Amino acid sequence: MNKTVSLYTLGCKLNFAETSTIGKQFIGRGYSVVHENETADVYVINTCTVTENAEKDCRQYVRRVLRKNPDAFVIVTGCYAQLRPEEIAAIDGVDLVLGSKEKFDVFSYIKDESKNGIACIFTSPTEDLNSGFGKAFSSEADSRTRAYFKIQDGCDYKCSFCTIPLARGKSRSMNPDDAVRQFENLVEDGYKEIILTGVNVGDYTAEGNFNLYGLLKEFAGIEGEFRMRISSIEPNLLTREIIELVASNDKFCNHFHIPLQSGSDKILRLMQRRYTVQEYKRVIHTVNEIIPDAGIGVDVISGFPGETNEDFLETHNFLRDLPVSYLHPFTYSERPDTKAITMPGSVDVAERRKRTNVLRILSDKKRFEFFSRFSGETVDVLFESDETDGKIKGFSSNYIRCEAAFNRDLVNKIIPVKILSASANICASEIALEKTESLN
C-alpha cells in the first residue's frame, strides 16, 4: 500500500506554488497525495510569517493532524520555519523543520519517517537562498485548471512592518528563456489559467534591462488556449505600458491586485512605502480609464502604530470613494525584527480588530457593487472541478466568482455565462445558450 502525504499551505499564492513543488517530490517517491483534512502518513505544512495569526494557525494545525494520526511524520517549512526554526521545533510532535532553501530538496533531509520526539532543523542563511525557479507551479486540487507559476522571489523593499525580506532574501528573477519554456510546458499540460507569482512580481528584472513588461510580451506570444493573471503588483511598479498590454491582449485577465496598506500619507511614510495616496489614486484611475471592467483588489492594514481614529477614517473614506472591486484587510500584528515593532503609538488590539471589521464590511459593499454592475451581462468563466450542492464554480477574467448548474463537461473550460444575480461573494449565472448546445 502506498504511503500518503497531506500538504497544507498558509499565506500567499507563491506559497501554494511552492507547496506543489514539494508535493511533486513525494509523488516521485510513490506517495499518494490526500486532502489536508484526511489522515496521512506524512504531513507537510508550508508556513507564512506575515501575521501572528498565520503562525498561530501553523501551531494549531500541527496539533490537529496529530490528533488524527499520532504516529504521523510532521514537516514544517516556509517563511516561519526560515525565521524562527527553534520556535517551531519546540512544538510537540514536529519532526522536521526545513528552511526556504531546503524545502526544494525534502528527501535529502529525511532519514526515515519514525518519530523520535526531537525535531531536526535544517536552514540556510538568507543570503544563501535559491529560488527553485522552473519548479514551482501548482493547480487547485490537481484539476489542471489554474496554475501558480513563480517567476520572481525575494524583496529589496524595506517596509517597516514586513519580515518577508528576512525570510526570502534579496530580489531575484527567473531567466526569461527558462520562464518561457516552463510557461509553454504549463500550457501543454492543459492549464487554462496561469497565475504569475513572486514576492514582488513587478520587480522582475533580467540581464539587458529585461523587465516584467518584456516577459509578459513573451508570454502573450505563446500559442494555445489559456489566460494569465498577475497575482499582486506594487502600485509604483504597475506601469501604463503593462496596463495597456493587458488591455490589448485577450490572453491577460482584466484583474489587478494592488497593495495600498493605508490611505493616510502619514502612515505610508511610517510604513516606508514607495508612493503617496495621490500616486496610488492615479494608478487606480489609469487602470479604470484603460480597462473599464477591470477587477481591482486592494491590501490594507489596520491598526499600524501611530494610526489614529482620524487616520483610519481617512483610509476608509479614501477606499470608499475609490473605484476598486474588493479589499483584503489585515490587522496589524507585531513581527519580530521589524522597525515597526519599536514605533510609538501602539493601537489597542481590540481597536485594530474593530477597524479591520469595518473594512471587511466596506469590502463586501464594494464587491457587491462591482458584481452587480455585470448583472445581465455575459462574461467568460473558467470552471473548476469541484462540485458543491449541485453547482460548479469559477472565476471570470475580472475576478467575478460565478456558479452555475453542475455539468462535468464544463470543467477546465473557459465558458461564456450570463450573470443572473449578485451577492457579496458570488454571482448566480447560466451558461450561454449557444455554448450549452455545443456541449450537448
Q: What is the CATH number of the domain that holds 10?
A: 3.40.50.12160
Average pLDDT over residues 144-167: 89
User: How many domains are contained in the chain?
Assistant: 4
* Residue 276 sits in the same domain as residue 349: yes
The per-residue pLDDT for 133 is: 61
Residues 357 and 269 in one domain: yes
Grid coordinates in use for 60? 494549531
Q: Which residue has the cell 513581527?
A: 335
Same domain for 345 and 306:
yes
> What is the domain range of residue 145?
129-232
> What integer is the mean pLDDT of 412-422?
94
Same domain as 120, residue 181:
no
Assign 243 a pLDDT band (cuts: 50, 70, 90).
very high
Of 373, 392, 414, which marks where a domain is finished? Answer: 373
- CATH value at residue 292: 3.30.750.200
pLDDT value at residue 50: 67
- 113 and 18 part of one domain: yes
* Cα radius of gyration rounded to whole Å, the chain: 22
| Residue 34 reports pLDDT greater than 70 | yes
The pLDDT tens digits of the residues spanning 292-340 come to 999 999 999 999 999 999 999 999 999 999 999 999 999 999 988 899 9
- 32 and 136 in one domain? no
Chosen domain end from 69, 101, 124:
124
Q: What is the pLDDT of residue 434?
A: 55
Q: 151 with 189, same domain?
A: yes
Q: Indicate the pTM of the whole model.
A: 0.80
| pLDDT value of position 221 | 96
Task: Look at residue 251 and tell me if it is in a domain.
Answer: no
Residue 18: its pLDDT value, please? 83
Of 350, 266, 259, give the one whose Cα is nearest residue 298.
259
3-class DSSP state of 245: helix
Put residue 389 in one of left, alpha, beta given phi > 0 → left and psi -120 to 50 → alpha: left
- CATH code at position 422: 2.40.50
